Amino acid sequence: MGAEHVVAIDIGTQSTRAALVDPEGSIRDVAAAPVDLFAPAAGWAEQDPEQWWETTVGNVAALMRRNPGITVVAVGAGAQMHSLVAVDTAGKSLTARSAIWSDKRCLDHVETFARRPDAGQLSQLAGNRPLPAWAGFKMAWLRANEAGAYDAAASLLVAKDFLNLRLCGVAATDPAEASGTFLCDAATGQWSADLLAALGVARSKLPDIAESGAVIGTVHQEAARRTGLLAGTPVVAGSGDMMCQLLGCGITAPGQVAVVAGTASIVAAAAARASADPRVMNLRSASGNWMHFGIGDAAGTSLRWFADHLSGQPAMDGPDPVSPAYDGLTLEAARVSPGSDGLLFFPYLLGERTLGSAESRASFVGATLGHGRAHFARAVLEGITFEDRRALECVCPAGPEGPVRCSGGGAASAVWNQIRADIFGYPVQTLASTEGGIIGAAILAGVGAGWYRDAGAGAARVVRPSGTWSPAAEAVAVYERAFRTFCAAHDALDRLWPRWNGRPQPGTGPQP
């Protein structure tokens, strides 16, 4: 038989991928396929779970076909978090499309919950403030608006768990995804009867919780026939794509910080326990501790939007800053001085998750006749990074231990990495592999295969630093002033968004 490898699966918003990875973290082969995103109403974001499955089957089958002598010893998946797939007893989705992480249709349920007299106590129990992102509120919306699908559901799953169910016939989730439902007790790591009752979700519809590297089942005959994997190959619980990215960055010890620059931008700091700061989101990590984090939902999406609609250089290949369109934009941006001559971009195409209103909208502020396309391109990069700094100051107020590690497609841009270092005021370090999500999923599969003692040991073995960008003193000073202006403008606009969108809320700011 060939050398041992694991299959690492990634389900993203733009594409699904599968890779063969060896015990040293070397990627032998990758197969990918695009997936469709639907936005049928403002604040809605949907995808077809059957497309996740069918493209994953095709990706894995392509790997096995191209590598006939390979020995696959385990399968691990990482996927976009906080989605919702209601499935019947046969594992078939009961809705044509599923609400994904950026979907905010359940905002009314969140606001109703927040008005409960015991909302603070329940939020403390969950380890998070109520937000539309959390899967439990999507379940509450499903029960209220698509009762037939909710009632018929044998299981309510997230994307990764849906995929695992199709692979091995077992419904299970991991601590990270469980902590992201707003239905799990942050102290015990188990489903909470009080939170289930508050959101009206039945415990019988939720899967059991298994550690991210634990084997939950084996590839069954039908999945083996379609993918080319051997029946009986172990399948681990896996984790959310964010947790896989952070594991693939080697963020396993308290105080370490990473930015995952993808479709969304995630700023996360490892910690021993959940943060009590209500602005900070908390999830259990794939390596067994906690992650404090903030997310810009439309970071890479903002750059894609600018390239497609405003730059004259459409991006045909997804949100990858090394594609020709993005490379051209970042080269233009490099010719503009730090601060974009006073032009600011607020990257809220999908609203905000925690540091502002879910009803926020994107905007350019400060434009003059002297600003050209290069200024707007740089302002987009800077605006995304200013938002990242807002998150950084919340999740790690004392500053990071060591450099801020950066992974994801946006880590490939040297121009952007220097902007990050100058805006953060800390060194930014990239990794030898920019495939953090694939590497993290592979580490978890490697734990299940017996390659590593645990996820932390796997990360220590395979994660290797690459380039480092240090802050430039002059740029740091410019960005410090610009950042304060960014925050002040953000706060002034934030009070107005609910009324802007036709939802007046008394006491949220001056009345026009």
Angle subtended by helix axes 455-462 and 241-248, to nearest 10? 50
Q: In the chain, where are the structural domains located?
A: 4-237, 247-512
Nearest Cα to 87, choosing from 95, 99, 79?
A: 95
For residue 466 the two structure tokens come to 């690459």
CATH code linked to domain 247-512: 3.30.420.40
pLDDT in the model for residue 320: 46
pLDDT in the model for residue 318: 47
* 247-512 shares the fold of 4-237: yes
CA distance 412 to 432: 11
pLDDT in the model for residue 195: 98
pLDDT in the model for residue 359: 86
Nearest Cα to 440, choosing from 476, 407, 470, 400?
A: 407
List residues bridging with 162 in a β-sheet. none
pLDDT in the model for residue 314: 60
| Per-residue DSSP letter, 205 | G
The reported pTM is 0.85
Residues of the chain with pLDDT under 70: 1, 312-325, 503-512
Tell me the fold of 4-237: Nucleotidyltransferase; domain 5 (3.30.420)
Contacts of residue 26, defined as CB under 8 A and 6 or more positions apart, other chains included, come to none
Over the stretch 214-262, which tens digit does the pLDDT of each residue have?
Answer: 999 999 999 999 999 999 999 999 999 989 989 999 999 999 999 988 8
| End-to-end C-alpha distance for the chain, whole angstroms | 73
Cα Rg of the chain, angstroms: 22
Give just the sign of the alpha carbon dihedral 278, 283, 284, 290: negative
Strand 281-284 and strand 465-469: pairing?
unpaired
> How many C-beta atoms surround the C-beta of residue 11 within 10 A?
29
> How many C-beta atoms surround the C-beta of residue 54 within 10 A?
16
